[in-house]
């Protein structure tokens, strides 16, 4: 019998959680990932057809009723997923009334979805409106992004410009910039709603003093988005460590030329050109 644990999507989840842990983005149980699994990816596995148990969502997810999501569990360590995916990961299907998530596979020792599941599912719903190929929400605690939220104004234009100017790659990868919400209590539907409200406009949203929420069409692409944002923040940390005096940088005009060359549209009003 072909087991779901051997599927490409579970294997990829094992890979990215391990890589994210190795980058120090996921200390202890920090971070969580959810991936929309396509019907054809679920089909053919005999160990994921019956509902094992259900989890109340606490909000209306009827917009994604019937959709499958593979998610990390609450309290689980990214460090361990690789070695025990059937304990730390779960495959759920959103119920027809959108009020619960039905477990079909995984969480074998009694686990349940990440405490940030409201933020994940609400973000999936918003991103699906922008891009029907939307599949991934990735939350982690990248050190330099978090550090920025102590020293910089929590302003989307300011943070986006700062990150764009640290390397030419940034604008090409996230031309819409980065969103930011105020500091809020994690694990709540309130932070989920605030995050999702930003996801219509941004693929990545900074949680001050906590981490980053990123979305995308694949695990590779979404992980790549986190990498590029964190790399830009890391360069800023190094610039600051070298005294912080910027003698020259990528000008707004050069950023516009970069956007033109790569066929991307910078967030309106963020560049002075």
Please, what is the angle between helix 143-151 and helix 219-241, to 10°?
A: 50
CA 41 to chain centre: 21
Which residue, 72 or 95, is less far from ligand 13P as judged by CB? 72
- Residue 20 engages ligand 13P in binding (rule: CB under 6 A): no
Q: Is 245 exposed, middle or buried (0-12, 13-18, 19+ CB in 10 A)?
A: exposed
The listed partner (ligand 13P, Zn ion, none) that binds 95, CB under 5 to 8 Å by sort, is none
Region of 57-65, 84-92, 108-116, 151-159 interacting with ligand 13P (CB under 6 A): 108-116
Residues with Cβ within 8 Å of residue 246, at least 6 apart in sequence: 239
CA distance linking residue 32 with residue 47, whole number of Å: 24
CB of 91 to Zn ion, least distance (A): 22
Judged by CB under 6 A, the stretch of 26-34, 101-109, 146-154, 239-247 that binds ligand 13P is: 26-34
Min separation Cβ 121 and ligand 13P, Å: 13
Question: Tokens 């730390």 identify what position?
Answer: 88
Size of the residue set binding ligand 13P (CB under 6 A): 12
201 is catalytic: no
* Annotated catalytic residue, options 22, 41, 108, 116: 116
Cα angle, residue 136 at apex, residues 135 and 142 outer, rounded to 5°: 165
Residue 75 sits in the site that holds ligand 13P (CB under 6 A): yes
Label the pairing between strands 204-207 and 179-180: parallel
Q: Is 74 in the site for ligand 13P (CB under 6 A)?
A: yes
- Per-residue x/- track, 210-229, Zn ion (CB under 5 A): -x------------------
Q: How far apart are CA 205 and CA 215, in angstroms?
A: 9
CA separation (Å) from 47 to 44, 90, 123?
9, 12, 28
Q: Which positions make up the binding site for Zn(2+)?
A: 139, 141, 210
* Contacting residues toward ligand 13P, per CB under 6 A: 29-32, 72, 74-75, 114-116, 139, 186
| Binding site feature residues | 139, 141, 210
Binding residues (CB under 5 A) for Zn ion: these are 211
Q: Kindly list the catalytic residues.
A: 116
């Amino acid at each position: 019998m072909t087991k779901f644990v051997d599927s490409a999507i579970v294997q990829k989840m094992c890979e990215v959680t391990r890589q994210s842990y190795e980058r120090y983005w996921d200390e202890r149980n920090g971070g969580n990932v959810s991936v929309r699994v396509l019907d054809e990816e679920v089909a053919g596995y005999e160990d994921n057809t019956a509902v094992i148990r259900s989890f109340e969502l606490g909000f209306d997810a009827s917009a994604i009723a019937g959709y499958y999501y593979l998610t990390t569990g609450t309290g689980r360590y990214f460090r361990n997923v690789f070695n025990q995916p059937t304990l730390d990961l779960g495959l759920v299907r959103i119920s027809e009334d959108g009020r619960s998530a039905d477990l079909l596979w995984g969480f074998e020792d009694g686990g349940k979805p990440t405490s940030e599941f409201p933020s994940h599912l609400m973000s999936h719903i918003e991103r699906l409106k922008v891009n029907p190929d939307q599949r991934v929400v990735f939350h982690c605690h990248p050190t330099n992004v978090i550090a920025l939220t102590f020293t910089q104004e929590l302003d989307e234009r300011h943070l986006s410009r700062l990150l764009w100017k640290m390397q030419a790659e940034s604008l090409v990868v996230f031309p819409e910039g980065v969103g930011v919400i105020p500091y809020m209590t994690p694990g709540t539907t309130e932070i989920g709603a605030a995050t999702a409200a930003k996801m219509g406009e941004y693929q990545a949203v900074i949680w001050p003093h906590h981490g980053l929420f990123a979305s995308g069409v694949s695990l590779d692409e979404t992980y790549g988005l986190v990498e590029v944002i964190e790399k830009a923040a890391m360069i800023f940390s190094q610039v600051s460590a070298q005294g912080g005096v910027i003698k020259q940088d990528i000008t707004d005009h050069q950023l516009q030329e970069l956007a033109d060359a790569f066929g991307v549209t910078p967030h309106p009003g963020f560049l002075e050109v």
